[in-house]
């Protein structure tokens, strides 16, 4: 009898993945084949080849990134902070096991070191093997892989980093602590005096409580805070938020310069991503 991996089912002969994270709204993807499946010590890891989005990374049944739209998220979480910092040299990525954010960071010649702290080596292995469109099969000597809990790593780092990018999964399982105040406090301590951090802060429409909590927590530690958005088709609601906290005053978005090769980010998008829809501005005013 055929063994069907968790989170997948067959209907009329076709294989489908149904994301299982929400009670009232479920996203279902038609799948061609299972390229990778392993239960790691932290989570269930799959790479599935899907009809509409190509190969996709799925952790505990939730789509993390896909060959078709992964670049949008990875570019926007990487290039906004890197373009805002006057001279980023040392960068810390927490999570980011699909290597997509590191692939964007290596585009900056002035960066001399990128520490990527991913709790689960299986995610990196699976992405390098089966998701080259996202992972780029990265082999840049400036990237140092560290397989460890980002919470513990950040707690030890002191005044070292110019930019910290938190590319975490949703706030459940191993990523839960990555949305808590003590972790943001560690990030504040880990940054140099002109450093800045960014984290993905979920959907403004479906997870507005998490987004607001993140905004308040980051804002309670960093004197300068901004929220920006991008549209990522595979994330619930499409519209996705990012929260940026800085120790020193940030330049006006109109001063952002950007000359990297990218598919979504360009100078105009990086300058205007801080322009928020009315409902979102109102939400933040009450935060
Ligand atoms: N872009 C995706 C999204 O927003 O859904 C997330 C990308 S996925 C690569 C996030 C990564 O964070 C996963 O590989 C997961 O293993 C890692 N992660 C979760 N908790 C972590 C922790 N405490 N420390 C380090 N990495 C963690």
For 162-204, the pLDDT digits (tens) are: 999 999 999 988 899 999 999 999 999 999 999 999 999 999 9
CA of 177 from ligand 1 middle (Å) equals 11
Angle at 201 between CA 105 and CA 51, to 5 degrees: 75
Is pLDDT of 62 > 80? Answer: yes
DSSP secondary structure code for residue 44 in this structure: E
- Residues linked to residue 279 through DSSP beta bridges, in sequence order: none
DSSP secondary structure code for residue 254 in this structure: G
Active site (annotated) includes residue 167? yes
Neighbours of 55 (CB within 10 A): 23
**Do 93 and 160 meet the contact criterion of CB atoms below 8 Å apart?**
no
pLDDT tens-digit profile of 72-115? 999 999 999 999 999 999 999 999 999 999 999 999 999 999 99
Q: Provide the 3-class DSSP secondary structure of residue 111.
A: coil
Structure token pair of residue 273: 């991503």
Which pLDDT value is given to residue 251?
97
Neighbours of 179 (CB within 10 A): 21
pTM value is 0.98
The model's confidence at residue 160, banded by pLDDT at 50, 70 and 90, is very high
Find out whether the beta carbon of 175 lies less than 6 Å from any atom of ligand 1: yes
ipTM above 0.85, yes or no: yes
CA of 97 from ligand 1 middle (Å) equals 6
Atom of ligand 1 nearest to the CA of 74: 1
Is pLDDT of 142 > 80? Answer: yes
Average pLDDT over residues 6-12: 95
Structure token pair of residue 131: 């998701």
pLDDT tens-digit profile of 247-276? 999 999 999 999 999 999 999 999 999 999
Distance CA 213, CA 270 (A): 24
Point out the annotated binding site for spermidine: 98, 167-170
Structure token pair of residue 35: 């390229």
Q: Which of 60, 69, 162, 167 is catalytic?
A: 167
Is pLDDT of 207 > 90? Answer: yes
């Amino acid at each position: 009898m055929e063994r069907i991996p968790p989170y997948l089912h067959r209907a009329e002969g076709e294989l489908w993945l149904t994301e299982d994270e929400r009670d009232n709204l479920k996203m279902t993807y038609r799948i061609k084949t299972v390229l990778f499946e392993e239960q790691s010590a932290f989570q269930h890891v799959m790479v599935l080849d899907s009809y509409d989005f190509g190969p996709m990374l799925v952790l505990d049944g939730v789509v993390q990134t896909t060959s078709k739209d992964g670049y949008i998220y990875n570019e926007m979480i990487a290039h906004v902070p890197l373009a805002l910092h006057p001279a980023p040299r040392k960068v810390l990525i927490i999570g980011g096991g699909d290597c997509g954010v590191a692939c964007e960071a290596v585009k900056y010649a002035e960066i001399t070191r990128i520490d990527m702290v991913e709790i689960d080596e299986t995610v990196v292995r699976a992405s390098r093997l089966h998701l080259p469109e996202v992972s780029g099969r990265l082999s840049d000597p400036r990237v140092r892989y560290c397989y460890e809990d980002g919470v513990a790593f950040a707690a030890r780092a002191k005044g070292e980093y110019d930019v910290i990018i938190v590319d975490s999964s949703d706030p459940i399982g191993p990523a839960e602590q990555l949305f808590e105040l003590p972790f943001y406090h560690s990030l504040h301590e880990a940054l140099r005096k002109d450093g800045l951090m960014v984290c993905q802060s979920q959907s403004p429409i479906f997870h507005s409580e998490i987004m607001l909590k993140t905004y308040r927590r980051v804002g309670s530690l960093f004197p300068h805070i901004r929220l920006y958005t991008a549209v990522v088709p595979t994330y619930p609601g499409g519209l996705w938020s990012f929260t940026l906290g800085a120790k020193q005053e940030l330049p006006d978005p109109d001063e952002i310069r950007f000359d990297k090769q990218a598919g979504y980010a360009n100078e105009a998008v990086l300058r205007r991503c801080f322009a928020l829809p009315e409902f979102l501005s109102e939400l933040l005013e009450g935060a």
